Amino acid sequence: MIRTIGRGAVAAIESAGRWGYFIADLGRAAADVGTWSRLLVGQMRRIGVDSLPVAVFIAAFTGIVLALQASYTFTGTVPLYFVGTLVGKTMMLELGPVLTGLALAGRVGATMAAELGTMKVTEQVDALETLAYNPLSYLVLPRVLAATMMFPVIVALSMLIGVCTGWLTSLVLLHLSTPDFIKGLKLFYVFKDTWFGLFKSATFGCTIALVSCRVGLATYGGAEGVGRSTTHAVVYSAVLILLLDAFWAVVLL
């Protein structure tokens, strides 16, 4: 029992140490601007533009469901224009960033882990090293920076789409007028709602990319190893998103 706990503690400390080295090496790799800056735009397009359909789809249906559930909850007790309040607040503070983050943890995180994992097991990462590139500045930094910059953009669009579909649902199905919806939307709105959601999403993007790249680069064992890394990347990312979500709620709200 004590031995098991000891082994677990040692493994945890080793893991923390490896993460520390990884982050420190990544910081040093940032000086190699010529390498990562050339690849940044391509990664921003892959992470940002290519993720838009998933993000838009999720946001659109979230807005619809939020409006309908708010109406179901409020009818007879709370004025219906509070539907606008709930849709706006929830999309900006929580569901926009978190649902998009979880969906992109699957799409972006899995892609990164599988891609880097395959490169690792087929010696492409070693080949980069022998060509005098630092894999961290060539592979990891562009992805981490692109994810950190593009997640807020995607989430901003998700917020907008969610509010718009919530408004259209209120208009068509709940017979709530546009002025009433906007009145509810503005009722308790503070700018912090927006920046909090966007800031949170930037940290989600950064975390997903860091975890997925780290897991991908630690891959071993051929195709099975790549599959294992991909699963780990998605699971770790999703768990960390939820932990970060709670952390920022405690710290910033």
Partner 1 sequence: MIEFRDLQKSFGPKPVLSGVTLTVKDGETMVIIGYSGTGKSVALKHVVGLLHPDAGDVIVDGRAVSTLDRAGLTALRRDIGYVFQFAALFDSLTVAENVALGLRRRNLDDDEIAERVREALALVDLTGSDERLPAELSGGMRKRVGIARAIALRPKYLLYDEPTTGLDPVTSAVMDGLMVRAREHLGVTGVVVTHDLRSAYAVGDRIAMLYEGRIRQVATVQEIQETEDPVVRQFIEGRAA
Binding residues for partner 1 (CB under 8 A): 28, 118-119, 122-124, 126-127, 129-134
Least distance to partner 1, CB of residue 127, Å: 4
Tell me the Cα Rg of the chain: 21
- The DSSP secondary-structure symbol of 135 reads H
Phi, psi of 200 (to 5 degrees): -60, -40
Which residue's CB is nearer to partner 1, number 56 or number 119?
A: 119
Which residue's CB is nearer to partner 1, number 51 or number 118?
A: 118
* Gap between the Cα atoms of 103 and 242, Å rounded: 12
Least distance to partner 1, CB of residue 46, Å: 11
Least distance to partner 1, CB of residue 31, Å: 11
| Residue recorded with tokens 């994992």 | 117
Least distance to partner 1, CB of residue 85, Å: 47
| Residue recorded with tokens 């997903």 | 208
Least distance to partner 1, CB of residue 135, Å: 11
Helix (H) or strand (E) holding 153: helix 141-172
Contact indicator for 174, 67 with CB cutoff of 8 Å: yes
- Amino acid identity, residue 159? M
Which residue's CB is nearer to partner 1, number 70 or number 217?
A: 217
Closest CA to 157 of 201, 189, 192, 190: 201
Which residue's CB is nearer to partner 1, number 56 or number 114?
A: 114
* Two structure tokens written together for 126: 């070693």
Which residue's CB is nearer to partner 1, number 7 or number 186?
A: 7
